[in-house]
Structure 1
Amino acid sequence: MPVLNIALVGCGAIGTAVLELLRADAGLRVAAIVVPGSSLAGARAVAQRLAPGAEVTEAVPSQGIELLLEAAGHAAIEHHVLPALRRGVPCIVASVGALSAPGLAEALEAAAAEGGTQVQLIPGAIGGIDALAAARIGGLARVRYTGRKPPRAWAGTPAEQGRQLDALAEATVIFEGSAREAARLYPKNANVAATVSLAGLGLDETQVRLIADPGVSENVHTVEAEGAFGSFELTMRNQPLAANPKTSALTVYSAVRALRHRVAPLAV
């Protein structure tokens, strides 16, 4: 079986979990782990345990990489994904929320066209993206995303302004507005909002509501859509990633699924 050589950009909670799941994949080889200089030592320790053959580096190798997986955020897209696309390396982007930055989605598309390749945005923590994207073809009238997470998942965000998250006694709406604004204010929590919007009505027309709820232990995502196709409502209750409560574990599984599809003889 041919082996696909992958560059993994980012070795935080998501990247480490991806490496753990890929250890038994014969058709996928993590050839490089790309991190900032300040993270090299930690990434080398992870690589020694989970991907001993990987080169740990600050830049994507110019040769030998057949696919890039980004799991490190906005800066990584600009510094690593865009140049790789221009060189013709296909890329998978997990930090979809970063595309709320003006012009970044268009820059990705242009770089992929220049390199004659493709950039894939993974669904991450939400399902139904295929149905939403198909419904857009027929005409969408309304799309709303609601994200409900435990209060601790909103720590370090604007949700802390004017309230004590750990003292909340009932579900509290912490944001209501467009997907673009949600992704800007809550970049580590709003990847789903950005994904839903890019598949549907766009960042400015997709409505988002974010809720801190002491009554839930999971990350609860709800998408409601109406249009010429009819309507649907999808609710998912995802367990948070143990190493990062802001991220659903399904995000990791979505990334691994996308990688495996590149080498699978049958993909669904």
Structure 2
Amino acid sequence: MHLGVIGFGNIGKELFMLLEDLDIARITVLVRPGRMEAAVEQLESMPQAVAARTTFVDGITAFLAAQSDFVVETAGHDAVLNYGADILKSGVDLVVVSIGALADSALYDTLVAAARMGKARMILPPGAVGGLDILAGLAPAGDMQLRYFGTKPPKAWAGTPVAQTVDLDTLDHVLEFFRGTAREAACAYPKNANVAAALALAGGGFDDTHVTLIADPAATGNSHRYELISPLATFSVDIANKASGGNVKTSLATVYSVLREIRNRLGPIAI
């Protein structure tokens, strides 16, 4: 396989540490202009077998010209907006980690049209949460009531709207600071609400998925809980994830979710 990766930030670098034993002949990484030198330096800390197969480019034209077999996006909403349609139109399947970008209905429609044009697929990994299979299975029955609760340490919410009104450094109690739809959460908290977006797309949609976001000083990682009531089933899921070492906003499980998509692409069995 020739693997394409968009972004070489926290998720991208964590992912590289897990690729050594996979049957990947080449890796082409798209980084932002001006980030090439830093990326090459950071590659030195990666497994040598992976580093030797890796090439960096800093523009979408060069990235498409490399003709990857499979592309993984790990770079945030802007990367989905700027590069997603071109990759799908070129006929290459794209794993979208920054699922919250699809809360933009215009972008969603553009990407779906691009995928159809290129006869490619946009793959949405479960990331830090589980149970998307049963949600997607039950969704056609309709009348789905889905509530999601996302809890992270206060520092995970730094740089978000709540930080403008609350001193997160001194917060000493559990604070529910956001209640709204998955669309509103994904737009207001783009780096923290990809789980809510994934649940919404698997289930009843962005505007019918209810979201509560919570800062908890006692939290040691990122917790995700959701409750579903449908005509066919009632269930709840509660997951406590370890945060990634490089970014407290991201669960390490997200990296392994991306790894699963790559392994499923390579192996004789996909699960």
Structure-1-length-normalised TM-score: 0.95
Counterpart CA distance in 2 for 1:225 and 1:122 is: 20
Are the equivalent residues in 1 in contact too, given 2:81–2:101 (CA < 8 A)? no
- Alignment partner, residue 172 of structure 2: 169
How far the C-alpha of 1:215 sits from its partner, in A, is 1.7
How far the C-alpha of 1:49 sits from its partner, in A, is 4.0
Query: Does residue 1:109 correspond to 2:112, yes or no?
Result: yes
Query: Does residue 1:5 correspond to 2:35, yes or no?
Result: no
1:256 to 255, 259, 263: 259
Counterpart CA distance in 2 for 1:84 and 1:29 is: 20
Please tell me the residue identity of whatever aligns with 1:160: A
Let me know the Cα RMSD of the aligned residues.
1.3
Counterpart CA distance in 2 for 1:76 and 1:90 is: 15
1:61/1:216 CA distance change after superposition, 3 Å: same
| Correspondences of 1:127-206 after superposition (within 5 Å) | 127-206=130-209
Counterpart CA distance in 2 for 1:91 and 1:67 is: 6
Counterpart CA distance in 1 for 2:155 and 2:25 is: 35
User: Structure 2, unaligned stretches of length 5 or more?
Assistant: none
How far the C-alpha of 1:7 sits from its partner, in A, is 0.8
Please tell me the residue identity of whatever aligns with 1:6: L
| Correspondences of 1:9-48 after superposition (within 5 Å) | 9-25=6-22, 27-48=23-44
Counterpart CA distance in 2 for 1:132 and 1:64 is: 34
Moved more, 227-236 or 51-60: 51-60
Counterpart CA distance in 2 for 1:61 and 1:108 is: 16
Q: Deviations over 1:70-110 (max 9, x none)?
A: 00112211322210110101111101011112311221111
- Alignment partner, residue 128 of structure 2: 125
Query: Does residue 1:213 correspond to 2:216, yes or no?
Result: yes
Are the equivalent residues in 1 in contact too, given 2:196–2:211 (CA < 8 A)? yes
Counterpart CA distance in 1 for 2:230 and 2:241 is: 27
Are the equivalent residues in 2 in contact too, given 1:94–1:124 (CA < 8 A)? yes
Are the equivalent residues in 1 in contact too, given 2:144–2:203 (CA < 8 A)? no
Q: Deviations over 1:32-91 (max 9, x none)?
A: 110111211121123344322222101313243111100011221132221011010111
How far the C-alpha of 1:138 sits from its partner, in A, is 2.1
Are the equivalent residues in 2 in contact too, given 1:47–1:56 (CA < 8 A)? no
Structure-2-length-normalised TM-score: 0.94
User: Structure 1, unaligned stretches of length 5 or more?
Assistant: none
- Alignment partner, residue 94 of structure 2: 91
Tell me the matched-pair count. 264
Moved more, 87-96 or 162-171: 162-171
Are the equivalent residues in 2 in contact too, given 1:140–1:200 (CA < 8 A)? no
Moved more, 162-171 or 110-119: 162-171
- Which secondary structure does the structure 1 equivalent of 2:16 belong to? helix
1:252/1:29 CA distance change after superposition, 3 Å: farther
Q: Deviations over 1:171-207 (max 9, x none)?
A: 1011000111101111000000111101111111110
Moved more, 73-82 or 237-246: 73-82
- Which secondary structure does the structure 1 equivalent of 2:145 belong to? strand
Identity %: 38
